[in-house]
Amino acid sequence: MLNNLTNEKTKFLEEKAKDIRISIIEMLVSAGSGHSAGPLGMADIFATLYFYILRHDPKVPTWPSRDRLVLSNGHICPVLYATMAHAGYFPITELLTLRKFKSRLQGHPHRDFLPALETSSGPLGAGLSQAVGMALADRMDNGKTSGKFFYCMMSDGELDEGQSWEAILLAGKEKLGNLIVIVDRNNIQIDGYTEDIMPLENLSHKFESFNFHVEEINGHDFNEIVSSVGRAQAVFDGPSVIIARTIPGKGVSFMERDYKWHGLPPGTDIAGEPPKEEQAKIALHELRTLGGQIKSEHE
Amino acid sequence: MLNQSQKLNPKLWDKKVDAVAIRKGFGEGLVLIGEKNRHVVGLCADLTESTQMHLFRNKFPERFIEMGVAEQNLASVASGLSAMGKIPFISSYAMFSPGRNWEQIRTTICYNNRAVIIAGSHAGISVGPDGGTHQAIEDIAITRVIPRMVVISPCDHIEARKATLASAELGVPVYIRLAREKTPVITTEDTPFEVGKAQLYYGDEETKADVGIIATGALVYKALKVAETLKKENVSVKVLNISTIKPLDTEAVIALAKTCGAIVTVEEHQIAGGLGSAVAETITQGYPVPIEFIGVRDQFGQSGTPDELLEHYGMGQSHILAACKKVIDRKNQ
């Protein structure tokens, strides 16, 4: 059972999320391509999962009793890689190999290269199906009380995919109490804002009508992240979804809330944005000072 | 003559040769492997009896998952089950799986290296009256191009049973192609079967022949009938049954090219990308000889009886026979 966060632990998670965001910017700059907005927006949730919620062992990634985290929207892998590196799965220095030839950190996750991943992903809408399959297998083998949880991280945009709803139907039918879906509700996708491209609201009602227990949270509030997962874990007779309202590009002012940064790295010429040579510097400065909240920057 | 060492059905030439649907062998094999291995699970997309998976469901209801009409989910849920140590068999019509869910098979099963066995029933044009939407004649092409995938196309229900049992132990993704119609029983329990191995059913390895037929699936029977007919005309034929299309038994194919000097490929599938293409890829590099292809020529099917359709689309016995004569002529020119 998850305990509420102490002030000390909250500070610790804040610090981890800050480190992860800094790594994301450094990785993307080094790669010269990749997605900025989603990874920055999900850093608080990934930090909370890997440093507080998940049962896992970075030194023994194949530990059979571990919780499983399936990343469905593979394009936000910079946040997954950065979090895993900071958690000790592989050296932090390796993050700078993102998207490079022979790197373990493929542009979209590939288990062949990085076996510690639970799955390869990229094409959208397929991760939840896999998490459902894993959760079903565990229930077949260990019954309803194995204690393992299956987390599926997915985006709001990928709910456009029909397969997502096939998986949601099945999860509801099978009453998978060991399944916790976390939707990154950042309201952007490549072509624009989700409600312009393909409206998803009322998203809570949609999930409820498919027999999910629904939590809607501020995805940047560590206490809400922990307490919502705690409640989802306590729901025994069905799957849960946490709709995490996040700010795309969180922590970098010129990227926040702007769909144009969905699929681009810092260092891109965009009208109305800071000069491309300055972007990484501005981003790193803002992240290191938490947007001016910390006076002296620790380089 | 029939290759004695293959121990084929002694009643093969009887007018009333036993005929059993190839898909039935899959259903029976799945029960057998289910008894042997408790990790075997079955998933079906609302076609449980059609695909013969009901035999498994009835015996092991706790290891069966009804997916509803959702083939994309079918493939990826199976990937997740495999990740947890299960050996999932998924079944639907070939047109829908691996047809509709091709990308899920590529990414979540093959790219992910998950040992899922995909049973595609009702493959080929002989599905008949259902019409062109339900006749999978592209499935070999779209599965054999995916890295890691093993592609098996059994010639009768006994071979289908053996293929099903063997697939569970391979540890890689497998596609098993199954036909709906009753198919003459060619093999026996004692006929050799090995994944990746072609078997010479007519003629013998060492001697030369005028033409070599390379066939797969239900049409192997027609190929054997053609060989028997041509024997009476003093034309010597060998017939190689390719039940594993990938990985192809290149050694056996090259050996056939060397001893016959002319090849005819026979399949219930588009010529583009199927068995014929696989054979041509091998022969042109290893031992080039003339090849004729029997199969569908860039067309969709339609409703009709299996025999009407096979005749109309050029896969009847007369077409195979004519192709043999043509390729022999080409060799002798």
Please, where are the H alpha helices in chain B?
22-36, 54-59, 71-83, 102-104, 139-144, 157-167, 219-232, 250-260, 275-286, 306-312, 317-332
Tens of pLDDT, residue by residue over A172-231, are: 999 999 999 999 999 999 999 999 999 999 999 999 999 999 999 999 999 999 999 999
Nearest CA in chain A to B104: A126
Which positions in chain B touch A136 (Cβ < 8 Å)? Answer: 65, 77, 80-81
pLDDT at B274 over 70: yes
pLDDT for the residue A11: 96
Domains and CATH numbers, chain B: 4-16+192-332 (3.40.50.920), 19-184 (3.40.50.970)
Mean pLDDT of chain A: 95
For residues B163-192, average pLDDT: 97
For residues B13-31, average pLDDT: 97
Query: ipTM, 2 decimals?
Result: 0.96
Which positions in chain B touch A119 (Cβ < 8 Å)? Answer: 79-80, 83, 108, 112
Taking the C-alpha atoms of residue A107 and residue B308, their distance in angstroms, rounded to an integer, is 51
pTM of model > 0.90: yes
Given B71, B159, B267, B268, which residue is catalytic?
Answer: B71
pLDDT at B195 over 80: yes
Tens of pLDDT, residue by residue over A236-250, are: 999 999 999 999 999
Taking the C-alpha atoms of residue A116 and residue B61, their distance in angstroms, rounded to an integer, is 33
Please, where are the H alpha helices in chain A?
7-31, 37-41, 43-48, 77-87, 127-142, 162-174, 194-197, 203-209, 222-234, 276-288
A136 and chain B in contact, CB less than 8 A: yes
Taking the C-alpha atoms of residue A46 and residue A19, their distance in angstroms, rounded to an integer, is 12
For residues A144-169, average pLDDT: 96
pLDDT for the residue A1: 72
Which positions in chain B touch A123 (Cβ < 8 Å)? Answer: 103, 107
pLDDT for the residue A292: 74
Under 8 Å between Cβ of A213 and A205 = no
What percent of chain B has pLDDT above 70? 100
pLDDT at B79 over 80: yes
Count of alpha carbons within 13 Å of B133, Cβ hemisphere only? 1
A155 and chain B in contact, CB less than 8 A: no
Tokens of A71: 């990343």
For residues B8-19, average pLDDT: 96
Q: Does residue B228 have an active-site annotation?
A: no
pLDDT at A74 over 60: yes
Q: Do B77 and A167 touch (CB under 8 A)?
A: yes
A116 and chain B in contact, CB less than 8 A: no
Residue with tokens 């027999």: A211
A123 and chain B in contact, CB less than 8 A: yes
Q: Which amino acid is at B162?
A: K
Give the class (CATH, top level) of A7-288.
alpha beta
DSSP B26-44: HHHHHHHHHHH-TTEEEEE
* A236 phi, psi to nearest 5 deg: -95, -30
Under 8 Å between Cβ of A186 and A158 = no
pLDDT at A299 over 50: no
Beta-carbon contacts of A114 under 8 Å, excluding residues fewer than 6 positions away, are: A90, A104, A105, A106
Q: Do A126 and B62 touch (CB under 8 A)?
A: no
Q: Between residues A13 and A146, which one has the greater pLDDT? A: A13
What is the pLDDT confidence band of residue A291, given thresholds at 50, 70 and 90?
confident
* A242 phi, psi to nearest 5 deg: -110, 110
List residues of chain B with CB under 8 Å from any CB of chain A: 41, 62-63, 65, 67-68, 70, 72-73, 75-86, 88, 103-104, 107-108, 111-113
Could you tell me which of B256, B197, B192 has the C-alpha nearest to residue B227? B256
Could you tell me which of B202, B206, B321, B294 has the C-alpha nearest to residue B258? B206
pLDDT for the residue A238: 97
Taking the C-alpha atoms of residue A71 and residue A51, their distance in angstroms, rounded to an integer, is 17
For residues A240-261, average pLDDT: 96
pLDDT at A296 over 70: no
pLDDT for the residue A293: 75
Mean pLDDT of chain B: 97
Under 8 Å between Cβ of B9 and B190 = no
pLDDT for the residue B12: 97
Q: Show me where the domains of chain A are located.
A: 7-288
